[in-house]
Structure 1
Amino acid sequence: MAAGGDHGSPDSYRSPLASRYASPEMCFVFSDRYKFRTWRQLWLWLAEAEQTLGLPITDEQIQEMKSNLENIDFKMAAEEEKRLRHDVMAHVHTFGHCCPKAAGIIHLGATSCYVGDNTDLIILRNALDLLLPKLARVISRLADFAKERASLPTLGFTHFQPAQLTTVGKRCCLWIQDLCMDLQNLKRVRDDLRFRGVKGTTGTQASFLQLFEGDDHKVEQLDKMVTEKAGFKRAFIITGQTYTRKVDIEVLSVLASLGASVHKICTDIRLLANLKEMEEPFEKQQIGSSAMPYKRNPMRSERCCSLARHLMTLVMDPLQTASVQWFERTLDDSANRRICLAEAFLTADTILNTLQNISEGLVVYPKVIERRIRQELPFMATENIIMAMVKAGGSRQVQRFLEEEVYPLLKPYESVMKCKQVPLDKNVVCVIPCCISNSKSTSDTWQLGSLPASATAPDFLVAWIYS
């Protein structure tokens, strides 16, 4: 039933996804105009196919329907729905009012889900078509960033504790790899979409079989013709009254997975902003805090994380809906789907638009990165000391050696661990060759910035992005 309230008024609630965040093009795909115009298009396709297969539908009726696809009286439709308490029949009557000659053949043989479910599938397909290039654009922008910073060493973290060196570009490639998987999954789920088609009230096509006087072939042709007119390669062979709600699970699962990727990326950026190694774009007149003017808050990344959490939770709706659909269908799916499908796509659209903005303006501070590397250098060298000792014939289990020989040498520099502001003496690096010498190793001295090929980005970018 139509809702009350003026959604353009400041006195009425509007979803922030539509009023504040999502793009106009995505909002339009989920708009009433797009939905009900598609209903009319589906009624036209059905009438055209029925006429072709021999039902008594005139060219004049077809032309009248074509001429009024955009002529939607939303006020009349709302009044009809209030009276009939049935949205599809309200729009059948509204369409028939402006197509009086065609009124008798509009929706001929169809059930509500002919327009409802088929429109939803068209909307899902077109919404995915909007997301795919946006995600590809984000990947492209991050690939440019990774290529530019492919060889810039930075301190890697495990457990958010200093680990070994990686590069800024290679870390970015971790983000890109996840997004590439999301791109492949979005494309797969889009290509796997099937049309519900022309199936009747319980999926048996009984009404159409009656219209065509038991001619199975014509009923099959009708289904195929309407499916092709809608731009789908395949329709479901069997349905209940609705298409299986497993489709909604598939689509929202992929979007939730995208949300997880974006949340991880933007969390990394937020942590790096705290370390002052990297930050998102900060506009000239942007205000970081009303009370602390020096602050440069990563608000875009925070917005992405906030919305990504919402996106990840939405997949629970279709999971529960599919599990409680009784037999050929129950209507307890309807209200839930009106909310979760639209919100999932508007949310995904928002985080991709925002992530593109972030990726196009990421700022890196190499001097800060270098200072942190030098602070942690003596401790990072421990692994290299162990490897050098093993190559020289020593045991991999060198804990005792480290405790007795290495850590005492590091004693003067304990302040580095306790207070990162204490500058590190350049001579601390001498600990490394000294320890190796004590273990009678002939290994080369470990060098700052020397990384294996697997730690750099170019090979990944060539294999995944530029190929």
Structure 2
Amino acid sequence: MNLSPLQAISPVDGRYRNTTQDLAQYFSEYGLIKYRVFVEIEYFIALCDINLPGLTAFDKANYNKLREVYLNFGETDAQEIKDTEKVTNHDVKAVEYFIKKKFDDLGFPDFKEFIHFGLTSQDINNTAIPYTFKLALNEVYYPKISSLIEKLKELATAWKDVPLLAHTHGQPASPTKLGKEFLVFAERLEIQLNSLKTIPNNAKFGGATGNFNAHHIAYPATNWVDFSNNFVNNTLGLNRAQHTTQIEHYDQFAAQCDALKRINNIIIDLDRDIWTYISKNYFKQKIKEGEVGSSAMPHKVNPIDFENAEGNAGLANALFEFFAAKLPISRLQRDLTDSTVLRNVGVPMAHTVISISSTLKGLNKILLNEEVITADLENNWAVVAEAIQTILRREAYPNPYEALKDLTRTNQKITADTMAVFIDGLKISAALKEELKQITPYNYTGVF
């Protein structure tokens, strides 16, 4: 049966396939198999490059033929490996047998026992998986999150001069600028993104228990640590952990999960703030002909993009948190619990990409409702009390905070006229009274 998005169990491969399909080449079963083949081929080439005894007769002019094995790798090849796995009941061994058959086809049968030489399956898994994770970050995630940051900066520039009533503890507070509020999120995301980029993509490469036992017993004169450092760090572009068990310890991957979770938390915070601004009618949403906002209430245009983004970021974070807590723990030199967990690495990445895409979609639909924003400022003249009492403090006026508290905590509505009457009743100079009267909810917005 050919599976369609309608038949997928997970929505990341079903409902959201168009959004997540770029991740499939890295995190699907096909992707994992392909990059296992890639690591095995490049490892064989690296052994040839050091003129390992037994490989000196291999013609290096044939490197391109070897690399074509993974460069031209297709679904038919992956299926062949899966069919072999049904017999071997071991996925990496099936990859080894596939490459050995290719060596026969290419006329290199005398060298095929150097495929997977001295390695355990985790030398392949713990390089192929961080390699695909690195590719997914560089080619899908980083461009996506950068687009979100750029959109926030774009809106910050467009609305940099729009005064906005702030709310602390859910109550009207000292006004701010709408553009600055978007810069808050852009800055937070940039800081955490830069932090994520500093975490190395760690890999393990050292044989069955991390000591190069098989390598060393066969070729004791070869410096296998230097060889592996060069192969992992330079050929694969990863960071080889120096002292490991059979598996990579996943501490750096856990740090990446935590960093991705922090970024998602910022996105959730952004989504909730925009959702709240929409509920206050500070923003309207662009209406697309034919779209329905509510199945029952014709007048509604629900903020579904921000709600969708929040839900998907939450799902991603649940898995990122689990990965960070589980993967660094393994019994003695290795147990198999990490194997099935790592097959799900693409799931939180997919939910994260959905969340970013939905947030961007929502931000592209919001429209400023300046009439409501202005009315809210006009209805909350009490917020300039902070400004007035601060200037009175500057002038050593007695008990200014208490005077403003008595004024603003009565049941009367505070208006421009109320504030003017209060100022006129103060025993201060005419010039100071005029200075205080210049303060409004529209201009008391600080330095941003």
Q: Secondary structure at 1:23's aligned position in 2?
A: helix
Q: Secondary structure at 2:241's aligned position in 1?
A: coil
Shifted more, 131-140 versus 391-400: the winner is 391-400
Change (3 A) 1:116 1:406: closer
Aligned to 1:275: 280
Q: Secondary structure at 1:316's aligned position in 2?
A: helix
Change (3 A) 1:435 1:306: same
**2:55 is the alignment partner of 1:59:** no
Q: Which stretches in structure 2 are left out of the alignment for 5+ residues?
A: none
**2:201 is the alignment partner of 1:201:** no
**2:382 is the alignment partner of 1:373:** no
**2:220 is the alignment partner of 1:221:** no
What does the per-residue CA deviation read over 1:313-358, in whole Å, with 9 as the maximum and x for residues that have no partner?
Answer: 223322332453122221111112212x211211222222222323
Shifted more, 97-106 versus 343-352: the winner is 97-106
Change (3 A) 1:210 1:451: same
**Paired residue type of 1:434:** V
Q: Tell me, in whole angstroms, the C-alpha distance in 2 between the residues paired with 1:155 and 1:261.
A: 22
**Paired residue type of 1:55:** P
Q: Tell me, in whole angstroms, the C-alpha distance in 1 between the residues paired with 2:417 and 2:409.
A: 13
1:401 Cα shift?
A: 6.8
What does the per-residue CA deviation read over 1:202-242, in whole Å, with 9 as the maximum and x for residues that have no partner?
Answer: 11011111232x1142552254135422133x422222111
Q: Tell me, in whole angstroms, the C-alpha distance in 2 between the residues paired with 1:279 and 1:269.
A: 11
TM-score, length-scaled by structure 2:
0.87
Cα RMSD for the two superposed structures: 2.5
**Paired residue type of 2:12:** L
**2:218 is the alignment partner of 1:231:** no
Change (3 A) 1:447 1:108: same
Aligned to 2:181: 171
Q: Which stretches in structure 1 are left out of the alignment for 5+ residues?
A: 415-427, 457-467
Q: Tell me, in whole angstroms, the C-alpha distance in 2 between the residues paired with 1:406 and 1:273.
A: 28
Q: Tell me, in whole angstroms, the C-alpha distance in 1 between the residues paired with 2:387 and 2:41.
A: 73
Aligned to 1:435: 422
1:402 Cα shift?
A: 4.3
* 8 Å CA contact 1:27, 1:346 repeated in 2: no
Q: Tell me, in whole angstroms, the C-alpha distance in 2 between the residues paired with 1:144 and 1:106.
A: 52
Q: Secondary structure at 1:133's aligned position in 2?
A: helix
Q: Tell me, in whole angstroms, the C-alpha distance in 2 between the residues paired with 1:93 and 1:221.
A: 24
Which of 3, 8, 11 is the matching residue for 2:4? Answer: 8
Which of 79, 99, 116 is the matching residue for 1:95? Answer: 99
* 8 Å CA contact 2:247, 2:333 repeated in 1: yes
**Paired residue type of 1:123:** T
Aligned to 2:15: 20
- Taking the TM superposition and a 5 Å limit, the aligned residue runs for 1:19-418 are 19-21=14-16, 22-53=19-50, 54-57=52-55, 58-59=58-59, 65-69=66-70, 70=73, 72-100=76-104, 101=109, 103-129=112-138, 130-189=140-199, 192-196=200-204, 198-212=205-219, 214-217=220-223, 220-232=226-238, 234-322=239-327, 324-339=329-344, 341-377=345-381, 379-396=382-399, 398-399=401-402, 402-403=405-406, 411=412, 413=413
* 8 Å CA contact 1:142, 1:172 repeated in 2: yes
Q: Tell me, in whole angstroms, the C-alpha distance in 2 between the residues paired with 1:210 and 1:252.
A: 38
* 8 Å CA contact 1:155, 1:163 repeated in 2: yes
Q: Tell me, in whole angstroms, the C-alpha distance in 2 between the residues paired with 1:255 and 1:335.
A: 21
* 8 Å CA contact 1:128, 1:186 repeated in 2: no
**Paired residue type of 1:35:** L
Aligned to 1:422: none
1:243 Cα shift?
A: 1.2
* 8 Å CA contact 2:24, 2:31 repeated in 1: no
* 8 Å CA contact 1:132, 1:187 repeated in 2: no
